[in-house]
A and B are shown apart, each in its own frame.
Chain A
Amino acid sequence: MTNISRRDLLKSSAVTAAGATAGLTGIASASNHGKHNHSKSKRVVIVGGGIGGATAAQYLKKMDSDIDVTLIEANKNYHTCFMSNEVIGGVRPMDSIEFNYDKLAEKGIKVVFGSVINIDPDKQRVITKDNKVFSYDRAIVSPGIDFKYDEIEGYSKEVSETSIPHAWKAGPQTAMLLKQLQEMKDGGTFVIVTPPNPFRCPPGPYERASLVAAYFKKHKPNSKVVILDPKEKFSKFGLFMDGWKRHYGYGTDKSIITWIGKEAGGTVSKVDVATKTVTAEAGEFKADVLNIIPPQKAGPIAFETDLVGDLDWCSVDHKTFESTIHKNIHVIGDASIASPMPKSGYSANSQAKVCAAAIASSLNGVPMPDPSWVNTCYSIIAPKDGVSVAMVYAYKDGKIIKVKGSGGLTGPYNAEDRKREELYAHSWFNNITADIFG
């Protein structure tokens, strides 16, 4: 970035245009006549190229190609968390969940690979580790999640990278868990430690248990899955319980899956890394393969920029996703507090579009229509047994609300419908990733 702001450049070019006698020569990028006296500068800097950030970049360009969109992301490739459980279950290749930013760059989005270390809300600029400075009129922060490793004694980032993966950010973590499960001997135990609410992808840990159980059933029939849970209920609870009974003998002494909820002592406080033994209220559990999904909070830059206040997540205006703490900074995706919307990929995608519309409207001085959101979360309980939870959201009295009568869960078991839902899940994956990275 140069030190001369685009605003200054625009001013000088506008003066030049004014001096010219030719008719339609102006190249101003924003309307500056009429009653709205808004800025001509339309620079949006997006921090984080995950589901929220990449979607926002695409839709800002789509809504107004004159917006100068810069997307700053740490990694050249992105692995989606959604469908990574199919990779872990051995039924989907790793490269099918890997995406890059080539198409975004082709569409005129300035893709920058770097780590953002500071956002200055007063000077309205974003600074990366290698000291690049990006001035913005609006910033979108989509940092995803970070982990509270220290809430489980003995666990740490280092441990997660060397022996006990969380696999709750896809990529190398997914590959590590897959390898450990494939190398595990038959008769082994896979223990999943699940996080308390709120966390990314509420049905995700239970889908993971299901797909690993499906892998065991087929390849390692004497192996077990144990879920240690600090909650008494979870997303799609009834659907999973019913599915586990049908596919994995749940509730019998032959069950592949054991679920230990809060009341039964499922809350884990400690791990012995060397022996992969966790201490829960119910006692000690020794794993052959251990997966700890720690308690969560907003990604680091949200804390660095103080977008969180006293909370673990970022409070935002529900119509624009502008931070309630810092003006002109918007927060979307898992890091934002957008309840009743869950922290899901579809939510992040849907929020990014509303946020893009709010910013494009504002920068162009046109009114923002009432927003609308959708979330649909699919889970695969077993091959040919897909289920979902869906909801339509509206904006009312300053809040996101569930549209009454809409949404809900997949109904009672019906083989044909479940088969279709699995195919809809795969369609959803193909379409949402095309929407984000295509």
Chain B
Amino acid sequence: MKQTKLILIGSALLASSTFINLAHATVIDRATILANTCAGCHGPNGISNGPLTPSIAGLPKNYISESMYDFATGKRPSTVMQRIAKGYTDADIKALSDYFSKLPKKATEPKKTNNHHGHNH
């Protein structure tokens, strides 16, 4: 799992650790918390099951952030995202863009989403 990181404790630490040699640390960051809220519409891990809402996993970071700003200002026409995009700070948008840009796209291309004309949701 992406959020779960196994950390091997070095031997120096081992000496001072009573009996735990392999520690497990869970990282729950703000980006994960923010990104979790997107799954309802855009699909688990940013991969949409369609028919219309697009996948957002693996999109270029700048494209995601630019889209968010353009939805918020209305520069890019939309129905739902113009209302959602206004809910985030610059830091939030940076965190979200970074998070989704690093997620893998599905191995097989998801269903075509008919949104190639600049009019998005």
Contacts and interface: CB of A to CB of B under 8 A. Distances in A.
A360 B26 contact: yes
A29 B44 contact: no
A349 B3 contact: no
A196 B26 CA distance: 43
Interface of B: 1, 3-4, 8-9, 11, 13-14, 16-30, 32-34, 36-44, 48-53, 79-80, 83-84, 86-88, 92, 121
A269 interface: no
- Interface majority SS (helix, strand, loop, mixed), chain A: mixed
Contacts of A62: 1, 3
B24 A29 contact: yes
Given A369-B30, A369-B33, A438-B44, A26 B21 contact: yes
B40 A431 contact: yes
A15 interface: yes
A424 B16 CA distance: 55
Given A63-B4, A357-B32, A432 B40 contact: yes
Contact of A33 (B18, B50, B88): B18
Contacts of A376: 40-41, 80, 84
Given A31-B24, A423-B52, A426-B52, A431 B43 contact: yes
A417 B77 CA distance: 10
A22 B17 CA distance: 14
Given A31-B23, A434-B44, A435-B44, A424 B121 contact: yes
Given A65-B4, A407-B83, A424-B121, A431 B41 contact: yes
Given A64-B4, A406-B84, A361 B20 contact: no
Contacts of B18: 18, 32-33
Contacts of B19: 14-15, 17-18, 26, 28
A349 B19 CA distance: 39
22 contacts: A17-B20, A17-B21, A23-B14, A24-B22, A26-B19, A27-B22, A28-B22, A28-B23, A29-B24, A33-B20, A59-B36, A64-B3, A350-B37, A357-B33, A372-B92, A374-B84, A392-B37, A392-B86, A424-B79, A430-B49, A431-B49, A435-B44
A-B pairs with lowest CB-CB distance, top 6:
A392-B87, A406-B87, A18-B19, A427-B53, A423-B52, A26-B21
Interface string A371-412: 111101000000000001011101000000001011110100
A66 B26 CA distance: 10
Contact of A63 (B1, B16, B52, B83): B1
Given A392-B87, A438-B44, A366 B1 contact: no
B79 A410 contact: yes
A372 B41 CA distance: 15
Given A33-B20, A421-B80, A350 B40 contact: yes
A405 B22 contact: no
A392 B87 CA distance: 5
A234 interface: no
A25 interface: yes
Contact of A371 (B25, B33, B43): B33
B42 A431 contact: yes
Given A23-B14, A427-B50, A431-B43, A368 B86 contact: no
Given A23-B21, A31-B23, 16 more contacts: A17-B21, A24-B8, A24-B22, A28-B19, A59-B36, A64-B26, A66-B26, A364-B26, A370-B33, A373-B37, A374-B84, A376-B84, A407-B83, A427-B41, A432-B39, A435-B44
